[in-house]
Every structure is written in C-alpha cells, then in structure tokens.
Chain A
C-alpha cells in the first residue's frame, strides 16, 4: 500500500486532485460573487444607537430613542435614499463605558452598522468615540462633554451634536452675572462634569469681574446638603452656582428651598433638566435659573420647533419632547440628511456633506464647526415656574435665547488645532 501511494504522487497531481481543486475554485468563485448579487436587494441603512436605557438617566435615554426613531420614520416616509430605508439598532449602554464599548463593537462587527449615534454621560461617549474612530465609523455624540472637542479624542469621524460645558456656561454666566450680581459661590460635585462646568463659569466670569467667594465640592451622590448651607449663607453671595446633576440636583434644590436659601441669593444651574423638573415638581425648582439646549415652548417663535413638537405629539400621544431627547432627533437626522445629499452611505462622502451642512431641524439654525465638528447652536436660558392648570408640561419660562452667533466656544487655536 505505501508503494502505491508514493507511485501516485510521483507524477505530481492526480486526476482526483485536479478535479477537487477545480471544484473548490468554482465554489470559492461562487462565494466571492455572491455579495454582488445580494447587493441588489438594497439592505437598509443601519444606525447604531447606544443609550443608557437602564440606570439613573433611563427616562432621558428612552426619550432619546423615541426622538431618534421619529427621525428615522420621517426619512423612510419621505422615500429614504432612493427607496432604501433606514433602521435604528437600539442598545442599552447601562450607563457603563465598558458595556457601551462592547455593544459598539457588536454593532460595528456583527451588525455592520453604517453609522453610530447616541450615548449619555461623558465617559460613555468617549469610550464609544474611541472605538468608532478606530473602525473609521462616523459617530454623532449627543451628550455634554468638553473633552470630545479636544484633539486627543477628536477624529474626523467624530461629530458632537450636543452642547458642551464651555458654551453652556458661557451663555448662562453671560445672562446671570450682570443681572444677579458678582459675588459668587460654587457648589459642585467632585467629578469631571462639575469641574468642567465650574471651569466654564470662571472663564466667562472673568469678563464680568466676578468674585469667587468659595468653591465647595461635594462627593457624587451626597444625600444631605444642608451641612453646606450655613457656610454658604455666611459668605453672603449674590449668586449660588450649583453644578450638580440628576438626583444630586433634586436633593440640593429641595433642601435649599426648605432652608430658605433662595430668599438670600439667586440659585443658578448650568443645566436645568426638563425631565427632572417634571419629576420633582414646582416647589423645589421655583425661581431657579439655568441653561438648556431645548425647551418645547420655543415653538412660539421657532417654526422648526413647532414642526418637531407636532410630529412628536402625533407619534407619542400628545406629549412633548425633552431637551436630551431632541439631541437624539437631531443626532440621527443630520446623519440621514447628509446621506441623502451624498446619495450614498459611504463614510467619507457623508462626512464631507455633514461638514458642509447648515440645518434648522428643531431649534433654529445650526452647523458643525470645521475644526472639531462641534454643533454651533443656540443656548436657552430658562426659569422654572409652576405649570398652569391647562398644561402640565409648561414648566419653564424662556428668559433669553443666545443664538449661534452669540454663543462663545473655545477657539480652534485654543483647543490646539492649527
């Protein structure tokens, strides 16, 4: 037997081997050609959307999904990309950067998404951005962060539809310091969000010559703020700038109201969340002034806001969109609008269209700045008020709108772009 085997292989290839190789090559060829024929079936345009559906920001994230789906439905109803529909792949980041990174890898590697949008919380969006830029996938972030504008994290695949702390505090400070006074105390949570916001307020405060009396830091998740209040009151500030968020914000305002702090000074917040105000009620937020990216009441003056609100009301039983929810709408709609302009889903072409985009989708004119793809947009200054009996959603009064031409960002040179 061994001789036979060696005899056969002496002459090089046997007939069987040749036939086998030919068959194999044919099979490979068939496999190789398959995608070309499958391409004719027009797969949907896929957008990955990873937001913290569970956890403390769940209600904001769920509204982001509702708004993003609205943008996708509008795109599909108006014909898609020459008939090609879009689809939103929603994932739960669980407010964890690791989970968000894993989910983003899944969306890119297994679902083969064309674009990624979403995320709430600075660390989560930075983790997602780090992955999308490595895989060269366009990512539109919809959560506040200063770091994402900086050269270390930015890439040409990175877009930032949300406000950033610098522009938010610039507008709020510009409104508050000349009106309420120059003696300021800061109360901030001791982490990135609090630090970035405070840095922004001090930056704009320099212009108005504010005097920082004290900077009081509290740990994230503090439950008793009343220990800080006697000290704050003794300092006799004109303005108390609080930079905390979520549950910390709600507890601070409840306790400050009970303590009578509001009678002695004006309380100012960089961000007043619509969802938090609805949840907590009017008393704690009464008279507090703060910034926001969007409030539905803008519809009285801005036609795009009226359109957006009406579509949302029609789709979701008469309710109105929230501030962070609206980011979800704009974040997805700008991508789809650029896809339609580019006539393809090819990343580079879409990036070029998005860079050139001047849009008015829900809050007035916006555009992405060339150097860091930051959405230059208006900042609203609002004051909390009790809702009238006929409209439970009417909780803010718009005091001022700083339009895109009045919003101050860090300059490209300041950020380190040449």
Chain B
C-alpha cells in the first residue's frame, strides 16, 4: 500500500463522510437545489412529495424488508384525511397536515395489525387487498370524498407561518414551505433510523430468528415500522392535497402503490437518499418524454427494465457500492 494512495483515499473518504453522517442535511441540500434543475416548480414539488412518500415506503421495504403493495392506502388516506378536514370541517392547513399524518398512521395501524403477521408474497397481497377495499370505500362514500369526481376545494390561499403571511398560490413560497416540512420529516426519519429502534428494524430484516432470540419483540417492531411508514406516507398525501388543491380517487389506486415501489427500486432500496433520487428520475423521465411523444410509456418502461437488469441496487445504491468498492481496492 503506497502512502500517497492512502492519503488520497482518506481525502476522498473525508468528502464522502459528512454526507453519510449528515444524510438528512444532504437530502435537504438536494431539495434546496431541486427547483433550479427541474423544468418547473410544480414538478419539483411533486418530486418532493413522492420522494417523501418513497422514503416512508423505503422504511418498510428497504430497512425492514417487507414489500407492501398497498401503500396507496396510506398515501391516499392521508390525502383524504387532510382534504376532508379542510373542505368538510373548515380546519386550517396545519390541522389538515396533522390529521393527514395521523390518518396515514391510523390506517396503517389497522392494516398492519393483520398484515404484519404475514410475510413475503402474502404480506404484499394482504396490503393490496386492504388498499383496494379502501379505494372502493372512498369511491362509494360520495358525500365525504366526492367519489369518482374527486374531492375539490382543498383551497388554501394564505398561510400564516408564525405571523408571517405567505401567499400559497405563489409557487416559490409553496415550494419552500413544503420543502421545510419535508426536511423536518426527513430529520425525524433519520433520527428513527439512528435510534436503537432503527438498529432493531435492520436486525429483523437481516435475521428475524436471531433478533427474536436476542429478546426483541419482532411483531411489535414490524407493526411500529409499518405505522411509522404510514405516517410519512400520510404526510406526503396531505402535502399533495394542499399542492393540487384536490384529492383524486387515483391517489388510492393500486397504480400509486406500484409507482412508489418503482421509484424506490429505481433510486435504491435500503438507502436513505435513494427514494428521492428514484422519485426525481422517474418524474423527469415521465415529464420530458411525454412532451416528446405519446409513446412515452414505452421509453419509461424500457429504461426501468434496463435499470432492473443492470443496476438492480438502484441508482444511488449503485453509486454507494461503487464508492465503497473503490475505497476497498485502493486501501488494500
């Protein structure tokens, strides 16, 4: 091992290390530059919302190892909880957000109480079945949800933030408010993953029997992770309700569940930053290609297949692996 190479590696590692250590801050930095790299703000806000949704999904899939195909229920549930609070009860926007988050958690508690007893494909099927039930429930409950026409009128014009009035129809103000909220949620997520609970979550993923033998309550960990994941998904849904000022029945559709799986896999499951990368790449692909051609789905599908075939760990997962490998080869 030559000395110069070692210092170069050390220097490289030093650059990398702060990002790894302050991952929530790193994602916030990404969020801060996002509006300048996307074609328009509404797309940046969408990436923000879906990034948070995917990060919540990733907590369950990437860190705990449970593949849910019913996350639309938590996202859409949060969106409807927020929308109904504002439209039907005239509550302020922050109450809508809080109720959206709680709504996501409540639904995930209900689904999770049954679903987390199962594993693998059974877990995926049960979550999907529950999500479909909720879809048809919302479809039929027209008086509350607007049914097929969607819930309109989630209109927030002005936001009083600590006596600082913000014009919510101004895209820049809206983006920064949402970015701040998503940033706070990510800090919370990072804190959860760094806590002893976070270690137990990963222990359960790696070896369930061993985690149980070590005295950890595996069933409770699974349920708690599912509920926390539901909280993030619910908050993301509530943010979408505010952004689009409507809640459509499509938010509860199984295609939304599929979308978040695709975004997470594209970015890199089990990495903190991956879901955001996935959400950004997916949204940009969809946006740019659909302006070129009506056959954009063909291109998006082909790109997804290429990633699954050649980068199975996702974009960010691959970058992490590559940097680790480089470090390993250079230090040996």
Residues of A within 8 A of B (CB): 53-54, 58, 62, 92, 94, 96-98, 101-103, 105-106, 109-110, 122-123, 126-127, 129-131, 134-135, 145, 147, 152-153, 191-193
Closest residue of chain B to A129 (Cβ to Cβ) is B152
Are A191 and B148 in contact, with the CB atoms below 8 A?
yes
- Picked from A62, A127, A192, the residue with its CB within 8 Å of the CB of B152 is A127
- How far does the alpha carbon of A68 sit from the alpha carbon of B249 in the complex, in Å? 29
List, sorted by A's number, 5 A–B pairs whose CB atoms are closer than 8 Å. A53-B294, A105-B243, A122-B149, A129-B152, A192-B147
> What 18 new A-B contacts, CB under 8 Å, besides A96-B250, A127-B150, A127-B246?
A54-B294, A97-B246, A97-B248, A101-B246, A105-B41, A105-B171, A109-B40, A109-B41, A110-B42, A123-B248, A123-B249, A126-B149, A126-B150, A130-B152, A130-B246, A134-B169, A135-B169, A152-B153
Rounded to whole Å, the gap between the CB of B264 and the closest CB of chain A is: 19
Q: Is B209 located at the chain interface by the 8 A CB criterion?
A: no
Asked if B257 is at the interface of the complex by the 8 Å CB criterion, the answer is no
The residue on B at minimum CB distance from A147 is B149
Asked whether B251 lies within 8 Å of A123 as measured between CB atoms, the reply is no
Q: Which residues of B contact A147 (CB under 8 A)?
A: 149
Q: Are B155 and A134 in contact (CB under 8 A)?
A: yes
Q: Which residue of A lies closest to B255 (CB)?
A: A96
148-198 of chain B: CB within 8 A of chain A: 148-150, 152-153, 155, 157, 169, 171
Known: A54-B294, A191-B148, A192-B148. A130 touches B245 (CB 8 A): yes
**CB-CB nearest in chain A for B172:** A109
* Partner pick for A106 among B40, B147, B250, B251, CB 8 A cutoff: B40
The yes or no answer to B130 lying at the interface (CB within 8 A) is: no
* Contact between chains at A97 and B150 (CB < 8 Å): yes
CB distance from A407 to the nearest CB of B (A): 23
CB contacts (< 8 Å) of A152 on chain B: these are: 152-153
Chain A nearest CB from B252 CB (Å) reads 12
The smallest C-beta distance from B248 to any residue of chain A, in angstroms, reads 4
Interface centre among B43, B46, B149 (most CB of A within 10 A): B149
Residue B118 CB within 8 A of the other chain: no
User: B243 contacts which chain A residues (CB < 8 A)?
Assistant: 105
A102 touches B46 (CB 8 A): yes
In contact, B148 and A94 (Cβ under 8 angstroms): no
* Bound Cα distance from A153 to B246, whole angstroms: 12
Chain B residue numbers with a CB within 8 Å of A123 are 148-150, 248-249
Contact mask for chain B residues 279-296; partner A; CB cutoff 8 A; 1 contact, 0 none: 000000000001100111
Interface residues of B in 250-302 (CB under 8 A from A): 250-251, 290-291, 294-297
Residues of B within 8 A of A53 (CB): 290, 294
Residues of B within 8 A of A145 (CB): 149
Interface residues of B in 35-59 (CB under 8 A from A): 39-43, 46
Q: Does B139 contact A (CB under 8 A)?
A: yes
Closest-CB distance, A409 to chain B (whole angstroms): 19
Q: Is the interface of B mostly helix, strand, loop or mixed?
A: helix
- Give chain B interface residues in 1-46, CB to chain A under 8 Å: 39-43, 46
Q: How far is the CA of A129 from the CA of B46 in the complex (A)?
A: 20
Query: Is B68 part of the binding interface, using a Cβ–Cβ cutoff of 8 Å?
Result: no
Chain A residues near B157 (CB-CB < 8 A): 134
Chain B interface residues toward A at CB < 8 A: 39-43, 46, 139, 147-150, 152-153, 155, 157, 169, 171, 240, 243-246, 248-251, 290-291, 294-297
B136 to chain A, nearest CB (A): 10
Contacts of B290 in A (CB 8 A): 53-54, 92, 94
Residues on B with beta carbons closer than 8 Å to the beta carbon of A106: 39-40, 42-43
- Report which residue of B157, B243, B295 has the largest number of chain A beta carbons within 10 angstroms of its beta carbon: B243
A101 CB, min distance to chain B CBs, angstroms: 4
A153-B249 Cα distance, complex, nearest whole Å: 17
CA distance A96 to B153 in the complex (A): 17
User: Is the pair B40, A130 in contact by a Cβ cutoff of 8 Å?
Assistant: no
Report Cα–Cα, A97/B290, bound state, in Å: 16
| Chain A positions within 8 Å of B249 at CB level | 123
Which residue of the partner chain A has the closest CB to B251? A98
Taking CB atoms, residues of chain A closer than 8 Å to B240 are 98
A130 to B46, CA, bound (A): 18
Among B148, B155, B244, which residue has its beta carbon within 8 angstroms of that of A101? Answer: B244
Measured CB to CB, the closest approach of chain A to B202, in angstroms, equals 34
Assembled-state Cα–Cα distance A153/B150 (Å): 12
Contact of A101 with B294 at beta-carbon distance under 8 Å, contacts A106-B43, A191-B147 already known:
no
Residue ID in chain A nearest B248 by CB atoms: A97
Cα distance, A256 to B244, chains bound together (Å): 42
Contact present for B250 and A130 (CB under 8 Å): no
Q: Which of B139, B250, B291, B295 contacts A98 (CB 8 A)?
A: B250
**Docked pose: A102 CA to B47 CA in angstroms:** 11
The closest CB in chain B to the CB of A102 belongs to: B42
Q: Which of B40, B46, B245, B246 contacts A110 (CB 8 A)?
A: B40
A134 and chain B: residue at smallest CB distance = B155
Sorted nearest first, the 9 A-B pairs with minimum C-beta distance are: A97-B248, A105-B42, A110-B40, A101-B244, A192-B148, A109-B171, A127-B246, A106-B40, A191-B148
Residues on A with C-beta less than 8 A from B296 are 54, 92
The smallest beta-carbon distance between A268 and chain B, in angstroms, is 23
Closest to B296 in A: A54
Residue of A nearest to B256 (CB): A98
- A131 vs B139: C-alpha distance in the bound complex, in angstroms? 22
> Looking at the complex, which one of B171, B244, B294 makes contact with A92 (CB distance below 8 Å)?
B294
